[in-house]
Amino acid sequence: MSTRAPVTRRLTRRLTLRARMALLTAAAVALAVAACASAGWLLTRNQLYRELDRRLGAVSGGPPAAPDGYRPGPPGQGPRTPRLPRQAEALLAACSSEPTGTGAQNPPPGPYEIMQLVRADGRRCTVPGAGALEVTAQDARVARGERGHAYHDGAGVTASGTEDDVRVLTRSFRLRDGTPAAVSYAISLDEVQGPLDNLALLLTAVTALGVVVSAAAGLMIARASLRPVDELTGAVEHIARTEDLATRIPEEGTDEIARLSRSFNTMTAALAASRERQQQLIADAGHELRTPLTSLRTNIDLLLRSQATGRDLPPETRRNLLASVRAQLRELTSLVGDLLELARPAETGPVRETVALHEVVERAVERARLRGPGLTITSDTRPWHVHGDPASLERAIVNLLDNAVKFSPPGGAVTVRLEDGELTVRDHGPGIPAADLPHVFERFWRSPSARSLPGSGLGLSIVARVVAECGGRVALEPAPGGGTLARLHLPGTPAPGD
């Protein structure tokens, strides 16, 4: 079994799905037809045997009289009960186990072809001209009076001396002195075996024809059922060959194949959108990197040219150029860091731990004060602990505060408040137009009014990503009296152990 099963699996795997479906259909139909044929054959056999038993059962009581002792009953009432022959005791007394009178042309009268007596000791006593039967254990029990009668198959010799398979009925009776004995009647099984053999051949032919027809039908059904799968396979091969993710498969019906087609179309649409976002990210990153790199190259070329020509730049000009180079390097470093943060797969995120959000906010406020020395930045934080990465959370909050510092007017005020897990940052800048609010968290998106200001357009998208990883939410809205109000909510607890 251990070696046959893998061989069978290997053979079935070599077949196509269409061939396997046709084979399974043919096997299922073959089993069903074979089961029905076997049941029909057995039912017919039982019916024929019951008819034989009924004919044998028509003989009741003791053995019939000698040829002149059998008398038919009135019409419609069956045979009259046979009477015990006068010579039964003599036949049993002078018991002969060998057939006598074989070769006779006329069989014994009655619904039987062979008849014999059986003594209580199990020995058979043949009746002249009535053939002989093999005595079985069932016959012996009936002869001893342990059973009233018994039906069984057996073998015997007819009155004409022909060996034959027969159906036997053995009945018990008692002699005048009370001695138990039995009489056996037998009918040839030829009238049953012939029709059964013909029926078996017919059923075998019908079964074979059914298997062939079912295999052909299964192949046709498989071909029709798998046509959508062929179309799906062709679409997949086309995409693999051309990388055309715009390919769609017709979605017809509500069955499993149609569901598979819809799932495939959804998958290709998602892949197409992902590739489009990647291409857009590369294009936007290249555009954003071009500006600081161009400025750096210009400033450095100017410094090198002054050194090569021996014409030193004025100290103030040189100092401004170096400050510009440092600013451009800082902007380039920030842009590269933002790109790396956005390019990090979500499943390979940083290690998450319990973070005191109020402490992170205070550190971010101190950094914001250094970046906006002319602004008044106030903070009011209450203890709040969240589950996340400290570095990512601080980067997100710094980005949120940098956005407020960038758009605040000189001498303006920025208010930071943390209470019950909600962080609010309010500035008094120009605010964000309502039409721009849906786009503020998109990568590289910058409003027309902010394109002249430093920045890459990645800060708020990083905020949205970090907050989403922590299970929170963030939104920008117009502040009462002007400016922008940022709301950031993170799930957590006031105490770290809660």
Which tens digit of pLDDT belongs to each residue from 398-407?
888 988 888 8
For residue 341, what pLDDT band results from cuts at 50, 70 and 90? Answer: low
* Relative orientation angle of helices 459-469 and 390-407, to the nearest 10 degrees: 140
For residue 74, what pLDDT band results from cuts at 50, 70 and 90? Answer: very low
Who contacts 246 (Cβ-Cβ below 8 Å, separation ≥6)?
268, 272
For residue 66, what pLDDT band results from cuts at 50, 70 and 90? Answer: very low
The pLDDT tens digits of the residues spanning 187-242 come to 888 888 888 889 889 988 888 888 888 888 878 887 777 777 777 788 788 888 88
What pLDDT score was predicted for residue 62?
Answer: 40
449 pLDDT above the threshold of 60: no
Closest by CA to 375, choosing from 423, 409, 336, is 409
CA-angle at 145, arms to 143 and 149, nearest 5°: 70
pTM attached to this predicted model: 0.44
- Across 98-103, average pLDDT: 60
CA-CA distance, 63 to 87, in Å (whole number)? 11
- Across 38-51, average pLDDT: 89
Asked if 185 contacts 166 with a C-beta cutoff of 8 angstroms, the reply is no
458 pLDDT above the threshold of 50: yes
9-33 in b/e form (b: 16+ CB < 10 A) is: eeeeeeeeebeebbbebbeebbeeb
What pLDDT score was predicted for residue 343?
Answer: 63
Q: Name the DSSP letter for residue 178.
A: -
The pLDDT tens digits of the residues spanning 273-313 come to 777 767 766 766 665 666 677 777 888 888 888 878 877 77
180 pLDDT above the threshold of 70: yes
Q: Name the DSSP letter for residue 111.
A: S
Question: Residue 334: which H helix or E strand, with range?
Answer: helix 315-343
Residue type at 45 in one-letter notation: R
Residue 39 in tokens:
């049941």
Asked if 181 contacts 175 with a C-beta cutoff of 8 angstroms, the reply is yes
What pLDDT score was predicted for residue 251?
Answer: 75
- Cβ burial, residue 218 (10 Å; 0-12/13-18/19+): buried
Asked if 461 contacts 342 with a C-beta cutoff of 8 angstroms, the reply is yes
For residue 361, what pLDDT band results from cuts at 50, 70 and 90? Answer: very high
Closest by CA to 168, choosing from 53, 61, 48, 64, is 53
What pLDDT score was predicted for residue 76?
Answer: 42
Closest by CA to 407, choosing from 341, 444, 459, 329, is 459
